[in-house]
């Protein structure tokens, strides 16, 4: 049995474009694909049940793909590195895995694994020794690299699972809470990719509109987050079609890797402000208030588009990019509540929860970096622009089902609630006054934070700057505050 090689699956729940699997097959050893249900993950309460169901569905689909290739996916349970170390010693086996960037815990775990003799492979565009000036060129080279073909069969093995996805679901009492259209697995991912590419012409018109985005965007982000399909596969499939919208879409595939690189360069960005100037001025920026925070969480702020977005997040586990940014802006700049509270709440409810993207975006949208403009989203003008008929608002805010369009679109601070029998929430705060207050608070802090970035090369490396932020820093162009 000393001719075995375990392929440890984590956030790479696919057989195609899986380097660890391909390298294992090339050794000529008997491949044993394995997934370990680690209690650290299942007991963390960091993910909503529907996200866990999406994972279990993805594992069942992965198991079926392996069966078609002639082998079995092994399901194990326990502390992953400890259990795999025991198995590798028992069978005299190697352990291969794809390196991952999934926060401090996961990155430390991978370091421990490699120190124990596990073999890690790079299967993404991430530069693990720090971002270099040619990052974009290297990322493009990765995206365009030929994907090796899998053999038609993989030799079977004699290792038997000690648990099943169904048993884990029962053990941890995982029960759906959302009305989500998301379904896990590579089969679903490739089907969704095919459907999206057939309708990509509507992509640019849908991406910012919250209702249209529910069906008009790729909806592949949940699949990317668990690796049921690779970003590279999607990039290469997109290149085969003729559509002017495809470059707009593929840019976002690069963003996926860009934000992952940020987490690689700063593993604590899911809890600590990226720029120490903001971390040191927490009490100036925020006025923690659980009542205001809960009003935001429950979609009871009195601002229809904010309320609809938050209720949609909780209801279906999806929110398009612009609404995520608007809700982050409203919580931090307008309600003056800590960005970490909002980031954790959103991460929990998103089916496509991706640590790098979620927390990088929250830091950027709430002004914790010091090199980006402070974008303060006006919820009323965004409602008028992106949901002009109030369809999204009426879908998720039941109190407004029978309201007139004029009432829905009016400025919450000036509307006459008596026109609607006082059944909708009065504004929790004055957007205008809180927006002006935020501008004053950040005016001085932004200057200090930007100076810190310019004078501290270690911080610049930590921030993993690129694009406009990098150019702005080099040219010493202090970012401004914008109402959008």
What domains does the chain contain, in order, with CATH numbers? Answer: 4-147 (3.40.50.620), 186-265 (1.25.40.80), 276-483 (1.10.579.10)
Q: pLDDT band for position 9 (50/70/90)?
A: very high
Q: What percent of the chain has pLDDT over 70?
A: 98
Burial class from Cβ neighbours inside 10 Å (0-12, 13-18, 19+) for residue 131 reads buried
pLDDT at 107 over 90: yes
- Who has greater pLDDT, 446 or 474? 446
Band of residue 471 on the pLDDT scale cut at 50, 70, 90: confident
Question: By C-alpha distance, which of 425, 293, 281 is closest to 346?
Answer: 293
- Mean pLDDT of all residues in 441-455: 92
The predicted structure's pLDDT at residue 474? 76
pTM, two decimal places: 0.95
Q: Specify the pLDDT at position 350.
A: 98
Over residues 227-253, the pLDDT tens digits come to: 999 999 999 999 999 998 899 999 999
Beta-bridged to residue 482, according to DSSP, are: 375
Residue-averaged pLDDT of the chain? 94
Distance CA 10, CA 33 (A): 11
Q: Is the pLDDT score of 422 beyond 60?
A: no
CA distance 64 to 80: 22
The band of 419, judged by pLDDT with boundaries at 50, 70 and 90, is: very low
Predicted pLDDT of residue 331:
98
Label residue 95 by pLDDT band (50, 70, 90).
very high
Note the pLDDT of residue 1: 54
pLDDT tens for each residue of 28-38: 999 999 999 99
The band of 416, judged by pLDDT with boundaries at 50, 70 and 90, is low
Question: Residue 420 above 60 pLDDT?
Answer: no
Phi-psi region of 424 (alpha: psi -120 to 50; beta: other; left: phi over 0): beta
Q: Band of the pLDDT at 341, cuts 50, 70, 90?
A: very high
Query: Is the confidence at residue 355, as pLDDT, over 70?
Result: yes
What's the residue count for the chain?
484
Q: Are 157 and 30 in contact, with CB atoms under 8 Å apart?
A: yes
Q: Which of 211-225, 233-247, 401-415 has the lowest mean pLDDT?
A: 401-415
Cα–Cα nearest to 254, from 352, 138, 366, 99:
138
Q: Are 298 and 292 in contact (CB under 8 A)?
A: no
């Amino acid at each position: 049995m000393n001719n075995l090689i375990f392929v440890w699956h984590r956030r790479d729940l696919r057989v195609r474009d899986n380097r660890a699997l391909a390298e294992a097959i090339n050794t000529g050893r008997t491949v044993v694909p394995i997934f370990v249900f680690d209690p650290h993950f299942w007991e963390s309460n960091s993910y909503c049940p529907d996200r866990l169901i999406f994972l279990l569905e993805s594992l069942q689909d992965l198991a079926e793909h392996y069966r078609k290739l002639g082998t079995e996916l092994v399901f194990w349970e326990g502390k992953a590195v400890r259990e795999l170390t025991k198995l590798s010693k028992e069978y005299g086996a190697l352990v291969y895995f794809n390196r991952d960037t999934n926060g401090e815990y996961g990155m430390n775990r991978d370091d421990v694994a490699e120190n124990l003799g596990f073999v890690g492979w790079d299967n993404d565009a991430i530069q693990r020794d720090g971002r270099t000036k040619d990052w974009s060129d290297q990322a493009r080279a990765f995206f365009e690299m030929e994907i090796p073909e899998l053999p038609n069969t993989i030799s079977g093995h004699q290792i038997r699972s000690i648990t099943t996805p169904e048993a884990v679901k029962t053990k941890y009492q995982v029960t759906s809470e959302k009305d989500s259209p998301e379904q896990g697995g590579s089969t679903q991912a490739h089907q969704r990719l095919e459907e999206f590419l057939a309708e990509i012409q509507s992509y640019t018109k849908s991406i910012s509109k919250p209702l249209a985005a529910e069906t008009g965007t790729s909806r592949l982000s949940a699949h990317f987050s668990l690796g049921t399909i690779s970003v590279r596969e999607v990039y290469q499939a997109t290149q085969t079609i003729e559509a002017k919208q495809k470059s707009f879409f593929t840019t976002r595939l690069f963003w996926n890797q860009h934000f992952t690189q940020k987490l690689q360069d700063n593993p604590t960005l899911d809890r600590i402000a990226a720029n120490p100037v903001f971390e040191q001025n927490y009490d100036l920026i925020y006025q923690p208030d659980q009542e205001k925070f809960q009003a935001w969480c429950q979609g009871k702020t009195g601002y229809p588009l904010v309320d609809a977005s938050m209720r949609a997040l909780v209801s279906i586990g999806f929110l398009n990019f612009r609404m995520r940014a608007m809700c982050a802006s409203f919580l931090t700049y307008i309600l003056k509540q800590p960005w970490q509270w909002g980031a954790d709440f959103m991460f929990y409810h998103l089916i496509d929860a991706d640590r790098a993207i979620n927390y990088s975006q929250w830091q950027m949208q709430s002004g914790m970096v010091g090199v980006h403009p402070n974008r303060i989203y006006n919820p009323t003008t965004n409602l008028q622009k992106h949901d002009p008929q109030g369809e999204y608002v009426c879908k998720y805010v039941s109190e407004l089902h029978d309201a007139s369009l004029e009432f829905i679109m009016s400025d919450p601070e000036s509307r006459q609630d008596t026109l609607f029998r006082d059944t909708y929430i009065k504004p929790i705060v004055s957007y205008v006054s809180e927006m002006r207050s935020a501008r004053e608070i950040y005016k001085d802090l932004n200057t200090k934070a930007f100076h810190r970035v310019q004078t501290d090369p270690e911080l610049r490396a930590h921030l993993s700057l690129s694009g406009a932020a990098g150019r702005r820093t080099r040219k010493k162009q202090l970012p401004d505050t914008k109402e959008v």
